[in-house]
Amino acid sequence: MTMAFESINYTYPGSGTGVHDLSMTVGPGELVALIGASGSGKTTALKLLAGFTRPQAGLIRIGDRDVTEVTAEERRLGVVFQNYALFPHLCAWENVAFPLRVRGVPHPIRRAQAIQMLERVGMGARVGSMPHMLSGGQQQRVALARALVFDPKGLLLDEPLSALDAALRVEMRDEILRVQRQSGIATLLVTHDQEEALSVADRVAVMREGRIVQIGTPRVLYDTPVDAYVAGFVGQSNLWPGIVEREGLVGTSVGPIACVTGTRTRGDAVIVFVRPEWIEPLARSPRAEVAGEIAGETLSDRFLGPVRRIDLAVGTGMVRLETHLRTPVSAVRIPPERVRLLPPLE
């Protein structure tokens, strides 16, 4: 079933923060991630969709139905909270059976369904455990089972992995994705972790100051961000403010960069954007007459396992590259075809 925001506006009383003119659709079986910095409005969007908060303008649809005025109880959406929000007095299966109890499902049936759902999330061995006896990851699995057991129309995940340690986060990320794919349920994931969003979502929406700045597949967002904010938020970036000197050449703090300038003309302000892994290390000295071949002094050289991340001081700026090479790097080539020009910051 589809979940959709249509021109939603909500401003918190006494402040200008909230969401503004928010329009977005989560298709059947699709997993859309909302990412953004703290206060960008992503959690507010989730609360609006869940029915915890009423919008001041706009429509919220689930399927074909306008649910803007429908209470959270009646929306039939599964929600997984950041701190799990399991009921402390109920054991795992009783927690999972809670929504079935609310709907009047007889005790033996709801118990069987709850245990079956717990088995689906790998918690079949702990059905009688109280929440405080379970680890963070186990509690999150129970919360996921509880959110899915009543066949909800959509699934909302509010920072579901942020309370877990790094190794468990990866494991649970894969688990959530597996269960979501198995259920074929429309899912909205709110997270501040761009890596988490890129790795699980079909589409990612980047929010800033209550608005969606860009929405697209992880690949589109990574390769062609619409502005420096998205580029900086999604992955590592080199972002150099520059001025178009002539067609195919932009002057920057790290020197002239050859690139496709498109419709921009001489004197236009731009931001030059290149991902660190798109930059090629040079084994020889750079040629002065070739724009985009640069020599620099190593500021830092960090070993990250699969790659090394090297920061080179060049002119008054800095070039960051990632490479598999193990040899020292002091010169690089910035391939013109990989360079993107973004609008200057307002």
Partner 1 sequence: MIGKSLRIVFLAALFIYFALPLIMTVIFSLSRGQAGFGPDAYVALLSRGDLLAPLWMSAQLALATVACILLVMVPAVIAVHLFAPRLRMLLELAAILPFVIPGIALVAGLSVLISGPGWLIGSPFFLTLPYFFLALPYAYRAIDIAISNLDLAQLRLAAASLGAGVGRTILWVVMPNLWPALVNAALMTFTVVLGEFTVANILLFQTFPVSINLVGKSEPAEAAALTIVSFLLTWIALLIVLLVGRNSRKTFDPVQSGASS
Interacting residue ranges for partner 1, rule: CB under 8 A: 50-52, 71-79, 81, 83, 85-89, 91, 93, 98-99, 101-103, 115, 125-130, 132-133, 146-147, 150, 156
Give the nearest distance from C-beta 144 to partner 1 in angstroms.
13
Closer to partner 1 by Cβ: residue 63 or 336: 63
- Six-digit token string for 179: 């269960």
CA distance from start to end of the chain: 39
Closer to partner 1 by Cβ: residue 180 or 238: 180
- Six-digit token string for 174: 């894969």
Closer to partner 1 by Cβ: residue 77 or 259: 77
Give the nearest distance from C-beta 110 to partner 1 in angstroms.
12
Give the nearest distance from C-beta 345 to partner 1 in angstroms.
37
Q: Which three-class secondary structure string do you get for 100-132?
A: HHHCCCCHHHHHHHHHHHHHHCCCHHHCCCCHH
Give the nearest distance from C-beta 124 to partner 1 in angstroms.
9
Kindly report the number of other CB atoms within 10 A of residue 198's CB atom: 18
Q: What CA–CA distance (Å, rounded) separates 213 from 338?
A: 22
90: DSSP letter = S
Q: Which residue has the tokens 């008054």?
A: 316
Give the nearest distance from C-beta 261 to partner 1 in angstroms.
51
Closer to partner 1 by Cβ: residue 54 or 287: 54
Strand partners, 294: 332
Closer to partner 1 by Cβ: residue 36 or 78: 78
Report the candidate in 74, 95, 210, 90 with the shortest Cα–Cα distance to residue 152: 74
